[in-house]
Structure 1
Amino acid sequence: MKKSFLYFMMAFMGLLNLPVLATAQADFAPIGAKWYYSSGTYNVGPSALHFQGYVFQESVSDTVINGITARKLQRTYSARNTQNTIVSGPISSIYMYATADTIFSYNVDSNRFMPLYIFNVAVGDTLTHHSIGAPVYPLFVNTWQTVVDSIRYPVFNGKQVKAVYHHEVSPIAGWESPPYYQYFGQLQGEWGIYYQQPAIPEDYYTRYDLRCYQDDSFDVHFANASMACDSVPPEPTSIADVDFLSRKLSVYPNPATDQVTIMLDGIAIQSVEVLDMLGRRVLLQEYKAGTNKTMTDLSNVSKGTYILRINTKDKGSVYRKIVLK
């Protein structure tokens, strides 16, 4: 940990100008690496995206910044606007470089590289994180700290990947920070979103989930396998449709035990999804012919709180929270 801390301090003071290590660059963001993030906040495109779009991020080339060879990660968004039309466009690129144990990201505002993911850590270490994005809120805080809880080695595509799990100690003690991974970065999260922008490479959305990651070694689908990496789900055609669907929807019993009845009065249901509180799908039922009433078997779903997403053919989707006990 001493070495990582030294790297961190030197980088923060703008004194670290180390050359890129080929092996480290091969570990993180090799040329051609692709990330697909679910997103949907106002600052990645048109307003009112409702988490229905995605950001595509690709490692495209090397460039030199302040004497450091960094890798350019180019990004574009695709999402539905308020007219329910899919729109796409570029958002700002980011620049990363790696040493043997730390991934650095370039901070445009301070014109220096800041440590983002530190891997030379042990359980119990305290890490200090610096927000990469520019301050935009009155309560903006430049730094926050986390304590390392565990080091794990999950297997993806037959290959072990180092993951660092940690929780926040400041500014909001006890919050669990999403883990970061050797090759993929951070899979999902909202690091301190009420106090600073989230960590890069996800600094342009307040909430994100890594759907897919692809390079020469990995082709990993982190979301449900039936959803395409570049999926842009349909939105209700209007606020009136949302209200209309809500009035027509019946879900009972709630709380439920092992099954629940879902009914949309006079409207055909195309599919029913059960989502956990992180938005991950745990169950899907599809009805090719459509039905306005279905009984969903929840006997294989763990107890807890979930969101039902009921999808229709031409009226979009309606949501209902349900508790399993």
Structure 2
Amino acid sequence: MKSLFQILFLFLSVNAFAQPINQFTISDSRWYVARTYPNANMENPSFVETRTTIFGFIGDTLIENESWFKMYSATDEAFQENLLFEGYIHSTDSVVMYRNPENVLDTLYDFRLSVGDSVLFDFGFVSEKIPVINIDNVEILGEEVMRIHFAETAEIFGFVYFKEKWIYGVGSVHGPLAPARPGLYSDEIPDSLYLTCSFSNSELYWDNPFYTDCLVNYILGIDDSEIAEISVYPNPYIDKVTFESDFSSPVQLEIYDMQGKKLAVKMLDNFTNTMDVSRLKPGIYFFIFSSEKGVFTKKMVKL
């Protein structure tokens, strides 16, 4: 349940935001993004984990004589510990520009889009221009705010979905940086990434009606386990998968299909490993990494 403190903020902010705002222009904006995915182990074979990551600005910098906010993310509710630098944000009323940590420039949002206009989304293994199919309004604090709906992908298999929507000034329903890192989610297993709420001017602004709280954490196992720092890419993949991590203890990888059948076992070395998994049929698989530090499950899509 949302706290009384948050509900009070919601009530008081009706007058504070007399018109729709662009949160990407406000220095204290925060976005809460909940990721839900299977994370089972032997003792809890059906466990579904949810972790919330908070995105926000800390400071700014000048780039080509323009002021850019520095965006960070953290799982710490106080937004002070284990901060991860995510890049730079600069916005006008209707356009949000993004520079990733390598300083590569791209348009993150263009809220001037019309029905029929397309946006190029880079999924890593394929890029696709996806059209706007509808524009409607959503109510935020008594004001009608524009919402842009995108079509589903045409190049991807039907067992995953995109469901991309942009809300003016708030961003994607999948989080503020979702257009730069578009994801595909399974409709066959618990698998989602959604913005739960956002704050600006120290007040609650957007509130997802499908969540009872901004910060949602259902976590199993060792919270700070180093095994959860394994990077797996690309996803979806075609023939080979690369694993990257600097773990200090041996890690075993097991691959299971949707029916729970074990298909492969591999011991991973430190740093970088590449595995040929081209023999697997197109579908969804679970890559389970195990070590003395804990268990980490990654859902992978084979094209």
**TM-score normalised over the length of structure 1:** 0.46
Larger Rg: 1
